Amino acid sequence: MYRSIAIFRYSMFLLFTVLVGCGGGGGGSSPTGSAVSTMSFPLQSAYQALIAAGATANFTVSGTCTGTGNRTVTSATTPTTFESVSGFSSVGSLTMSLSGCSPASIAQSYISYFDSNYVPLGSNVLGIRYGLYQTPPTIPSSVSVGGTGIIGTETFYTDSTKATGDGRSDTTYIIEAESQSTAIVNLITKDYNSAGILTATEQSRFRIGTTGALIPVSTDIQYSNISTTHLLLTYN
């Protein structure tokens, strides 16, 4: 059941791994009429800025479990080579304290890898899973309300030898309406095990403005297969 909570951390288009310590409230409503923005929003540059800066954020947990948590990600400025590609890496940590579920606490560390343009290359959840983008993910330079698209697929292995497959994560996006000057970027990640069975669907919502600032709003995780656990993370 909680193997998928480990997912919530490392699935990497990584906008939902690099969080800023502000924002909050709500979850991607869809207003109509004059409240719907007709503007374009610079998603790619906003994403790159977040990756380069690093950040920390606190959140509350509701749903099947209740509790609190924190995620911290260092700035992606450390030169490194991942799968023979030069770029940068960042180190992240996730902690959660939960009530009504077992285990009652979760702590996890992971490393994220990017090329020189901050395009995700893969990830390493220490002691758990090694991820690799066989094809570079696509992050659109600009988006507008109603836009949809495919980000990419991260293939997972049990370790860096890549001898044993461990499933994959497919990430897409949809741009939801919010106001005349903002929109909600909803990143939808579907996680599959090594047998190709869907184990969880994660929706990470970020508010974006015309200046490109991304503010985390919420992460909604619905488990499937043998679990009906539902978690909603709301950022403070």
Report pLDDT for 80.
96
Contact 5, 202 (CB under 8 A): no
The helix, strand and coil proportions of the chain, stated in percent and rounded to the nearest 5, come to: 10, 50, 40
Q: What pLDDT, in 10s, does the model give residues 8-19?
A: 433 333 333 333
Q: Tokens 């490109």 belong to which residue? A: 212
Higher pLDDT, 196 or 35: 196
What is the average pLDDT across 117-141? 93
Higher pLDDT, 214 or 162: 162
Q: What pLDDT, in 10s, does the model give residues 20-62?
A: 333 333 444 444 445 788 999 999 999 998 888 888 889 999 9
Distance CA 57, CA 114 (A): 21
Report pLDDT for 131.
95
Report pLDDT for 186.
96
Give all strands (DSSP E) within 40-181, no chain letters: 55-63, 66-73, 78-82, 85-99, 105-115, 120-125, 129-132, 148-157, 165-177
Cα distances from 209 to residues 37, 152, 174, 215, in angstroms, run 10, 24, 15, 9
Q: What pLDDT, in 10s, does the model give residues 88-97?
A: 999 999 899 9
Which pTM value belongs to this model? 0.85
